[in-house]
Amino acid sequence: MFATIASICRVIMNKAFIREPDETGDLHCPACGSLGTAVVRETWQAHVAAPDETQLADAAFFCPYDKCDVVYFDMFERMVRTEALRHGVYPKDPQAPLCGCFGLTVADVEADIREGGVTRVRAIVEKAKGPDARCRTQSPTGQSCVADVQRCYMKLRGSI
């Protein structure tokens, strides 16, 4: 009986101090409300200047909103802001590489568009499929940059 009461108390305490994901299991940035992208500890620790085991939970999230200064957050609403990073990350810093592994920047995508080709973009997409891609630690989301590169290309192609 005591074990059952202890279990119930533990559940109540957890619900009091942990921000619950919404119905879909998603978690939103506590600063701006943007939908977070789940990241593993290895990913966020690769980007934080002085990573600390207690800084964020194992289940952390990346905030993709470029105007928000929160980069990573967890269910306890602990946050890592841009000033705590080793270097700028896209999209928080528009000068930072779109592709952390191979260094493609927005300026490179703009150059491809001005030249009427996709030489740089195509090369990065091919490299991202290969064994030299280190997305888990080089990308702030821990995921391949291909979708971001393509999205950037399409957005800029419409505006240049």
pLDDT for 58-82, tens place per residue? 889 999 999 999 999 999 999 999 9
pLDDT value for 9: 47
Tell me what pLDDT residue 110 has: 96
CATH architecture type of domain 21-87: Single Sheet (2.20)
CB neighbours of 129 closer than 8 A, spacing ≥ 6?
none
